[in-house]
Structure 1
Amino acid sequence: MTTAGHTARDRLRQQLTHARDRSPYYRRLLGGGSGRGTAAELTELPLTTAADVAAAGPLGLTAVEPARIARYAESRDHRGRPLGAAATMGDLRRTTAAMAAALRPHVGPADLAFVAVPYELSGGAQDTDRALTALGAGVVGVGALSPVCPPERTADLVAALRPGVLATTPDRALAIHARLADAGAVPRALGQRIHLHLGGECAPVRAARTAELWGAVAIRAYGSTLTPAAGLPCVAGTAHLTTALYHAEVIDPDGSDPVPEGACGELVLTTLAAEATPLLRYRTGDLVRLTRCGCGDPRPALEQHGRVEDRWRGATGPARTAVALEQAALAVHGTGLHCATGWSAGRPTAVLDEADADTRRDVARALHALTGATWHVAAADRGAFLAAAARAGRRRLRPGDLEET
């Protein structure tokens, strides 16, 4: 075994011991005893779910005394359940160091960066903020939910300050672009170089088109309140698993068995260095494929395919991820920036932004080739998509969202 392998094994053993001995939740679930701390032993442990975390309460998984907590962060899952996690100063330093190292090829002291991610009870925005600051970049924390800085104010600040880096979701990047364009600005002339996409999984073709609108390059990070900095961009911008901080499994989203190597499944993460909130086999609810990237980084790349609950199921054949459907639709020539897929009026339906009849026909063919089903493809104007996205919040758009008034 390599030195790196020994290090990962040692970290896993120490994390299992720490969780069993110090976390109230895992002490009740697993009892004491250090165990061997091997990957084989890990797979024998029960999975931790979002429901488990929510039921445990704000500090139910916390494995350090209150005096050592440096920050508490919280988010809500698709069912509205609060998922909270505490962090020590050591946890925050490790996250900041990992993010700063990953962003160093893309961001430097000459950059001004806007962080358009919710700051309220959120860890992700603060983690990104600290990492950018550590690299010497100037940071404007515009957030996303603050009444002090509503979307209109964010657009005004972007026009006035011309940040070179925008850290946000693809949907928010499109919304800011639309507000600037409506105000008569030329977003491509504002000098943005880098879009750091945080959350809001979307098809690669859509991420590339969104960045192209600004004349920027899209890079990708992956994480959550419970699993900060789990995937960070390489020099090519692809998110790679942060193997110093996490052990990953990919399992059947409808069960618990591992999927074949290279197949898409639900990402399960075990922390390797968390002091305050250790997690053992946490079901993230996110669909991924572990792949290799051409950058040369040996760590697995996280090819993201959206949420488990957003899959589309037909009468026959396997379930298809929302991202796979979006990629198939938007890869068709003549499509734009938006696509909502799902069931509507009892039939598979895709809604595109401003696609003509020939394009809609070609999209229906592409979706049929992917799923074997006959799709109804409709169009809505881009403004309707932006309004629907604002109403939906973090939830992925469905065809019915475009019918709301």
Structure 2
Amino acid sequence: MSFYTREEGIEKHEMESIQFARLKTTVANVYENVPFYKREFEKAGVKPEALHSLTDLKKLPFTKKTDLRDHYPFGLVAVPMDEVVRIHGSSGTSGKPTVVAYTKNDIEHWSDIVARSIYLAGGRKGDLLHNAYGYGLFTGGLGLHHGSEKLGCATVPVSGGNTERQITLIEDFKPRIICSTPSYLLNIGETMLAKGLDPKKTSLAFAILGAEPWTEEMRATIETMFDLKAMDIYGLSEVMGPGIAMECVDCQDGLHLADDHFICEIIDPDTLDPVPDGENGELVFTSLTKEALPIIRYRTGDIASITRERCACGRTSTRMSRVKGRIDDMFIIRGVNVFPSEVERILLQMDELVCHYNIHLKRAGSMDHAELHVEVCESFFNRLPNGDFSVGEGPDLIKKIKYSLKSQALISMDVCLKAPYSIPRSEGKAKRVIDLRGENALTVE
């Protein structure tokens, strides 16, 4: 069995020994060098010397995104600014990004983690990698770029957008690997088909897709469209960036965590108690090797589960499930919690529909309601008299969608069928929920 690093295949007790040693160093570092953490530790009544095993991690306080915003821009940095070599950030509702910093060692570690991820996905030295993640404050573009170079791939830094040019470079350069959001790769494929090109005939063999929740049904659509294998990559800037976890090309059965760099917990987002392995909860990460901005028990807002069973590929690393959705994206319809990814899973089981949809949250008088806008495929649309959804097979398809949503997910919402190519395509992260009510609460009675 070929691994990128030996740590991917070591026994659990050896990994736990590595994690505990690095955890103690990290906790001592933030206690001494980050005033915020020293205050929070003292509020919780813990000091670094109180850590006697990994189970003591639960004694430490959580870190939230609001903590990063409250200490904008550099209040959580643990090293002198002359040791910082890179600044990244993610945009927030306040208009200011949550800022993260990196030392030279941080960049080296991150590059190595991403190289490991690309290797997991089937990439090897000498491959040509087409990187369609956005470059800039967003960690996706530069994160994959440096990991690709670290592995020894020839890296094409295309960034996002300009789909026609993306297609030209794919055809001319003949990359073996492509990196992008799943919705944007779908956009590229549809654009190729509209130009009379067959996505199956490209040189692409592997796709590394992330930065937004996506489903097994979306994977099947993309893999069939391009005749490749599509793997999920996970990351977020507050913890490091892409590469925190990656699916292996051998099994595509959960994302392998870089256990030697991060500790992952799953908690109930309401009670903050741990949930058993295999059950969904909120992902919480503690960094173990970051210097500039170490983070303790960071609540990501992402919903997933973990397993500690050895993968059939031979790796012993903890695996996390595909992210089901974000707490921020969840809305409530008549008491039922709804994630867009659950709606997507149901829609993509129907041959009449394609992978493009929005959920509109609207207000009618004093009541709120949800309305699903979803595109039909061209063959279905062409069967409708004059493209009229109110006649022919249109009403039956609406009934079928409503029944499937209700029977499979207990969701009731209005359905609006849309003509092919009428929903705007994504050149980055897809926006699935559109709140038209002029307020923030994603609650629909």
Per the normalisation by structure 2, the TM-score is 0.80
- How does 1:335-346 map onto structure 2 within 5 Å? 335-341=353-359, 343-344=361-362, 346=368
1:34 aligned residue? 48
Partner amino acid for 2:372? A
**Which residue of structure 1 aligns with residue 140 of structure 2?**
124
Residue in 2 that maps onto 1:327: 345
Residue identity opposite 1:352 in structure 2: V
Q: Contact (CA 8 Å) 1:88, 1:275: kept in 2 or not?
A: yes
2:173 counterpart of 1:138: no
Select 1:248's aligned residue among 239, 243, 264: 264
Which residue in 1 is equivalent to 2:14?
3
Match of 2:433 in 1: 398
1:10-159 equivalence runs, <5 A: 10-30=21-41, 33-37=47-51, 38-77=53-92, 80-105=95-120, 106-144=122-160, 150-159=162-171
Is the 8 Å Cα contact of residues 240 and 302 (structure 1) preserved in structure 2? no
**Which range moves more in the overlay, 211-220 or 38-47?**
38-47
Q: Which residue of 2 aligns with 1:212?
A: 224
Instruction: Name the CA shift for 1:399/1:20 in 2 (closer, same or farther; >3 Å).
Output: closer
Contact 1:325 1:341 in 2 (8 A): no
CA deviation string 1:49-93 (max 9, x = no partner) = 111102211222111122322222112135544111111222222
Task: Tell me if the contact between 1:220 and 1:239 (Cα under 8 Å) persists in the aligned partners.
Answer: yes
1-structure distance, mates of 2:47, 2:124: 46
Aligned residues: 393
Alpha-carbon distance in structure 2 between the residues aligned to 1:135 and 1:14: 28
Match for 1:349 among 366, 371, 384? 371
Deviation of the 1:202 alpha carbon: 1.1
* Structure-1 residue corresponding to 2:189: 177
The one-letter amino acid of 2:344's match is: E
Q: CA deviation at 1:290?
A: 1.7
Where structure 2 has 5 or more consecutive residues not aligned to the other structure, the ranges are 1-11, 381-393, 437-445
User: Contact 1:91/1:274 (CA < 8 Å) preserved in 2?
Assistant: yes
Which deviates further from its counterpart, 378-387 or 260-269? Answer: 378-387
Pair 396,315 (structure 1): closer, same or farther in 2 beyond 3 Å = same
3-state DSSP of counterpart to 1:77? coil
SS at match of 1:276: coil
Partner of 2:443: none
Q: Structure 1 residues 373 and 18, CA, compared in 2 at 3 Å: closer, same or farther?
A: same
CA distance in 2, matches of 1:178, 1:334: 16
How many Å apart are 1:260 and its aligned residue? 4.1
For residues 93 and 268 of structure 2, the distance between their equivalents in structure 1, rounded to whole angstroms, comes to 20
Partner of 2:389: none
Q: Is the 8 A contact 1:245 1:272 kept in 2?
A: yes
| Residue of structure 2 equivalent to 1:200 | 212
Does 1:313 pair with 2:332?
Answer: yes
Are residues 400 and 51 of structure 1, via their aligned partners in 2, closer, same or farther at CA, if it must alter by over 3 Å? closer
**1:368 maps onto 2:390 in alignment:** no
Cα pair distance change 1:46/1:81, threshold 3 Å: farther
Aligned with residue 302 of structure 1, among 318, 321, 329: 321
Tell me which residue corresponds to 2:442. Answer: none
Deviation at 1:320, TM superposition (A): 3.0
In structure 1, how many angstroms separate the alpha carbons of the residues matched to 2:424 and 2:151? Answer: 33
Relative contact order (alpha carbons < 8 A, sep ≥ 6): 1 or 2 greater? 2
C-alpha RMSD over aligned residues: 2.6
1:375, 1:215 → 2: CA distance?
A: 35
**Cα displacement (A) at 1:219:** 0.7
Superposed displacement of residue 100, structure 1 = 1.7
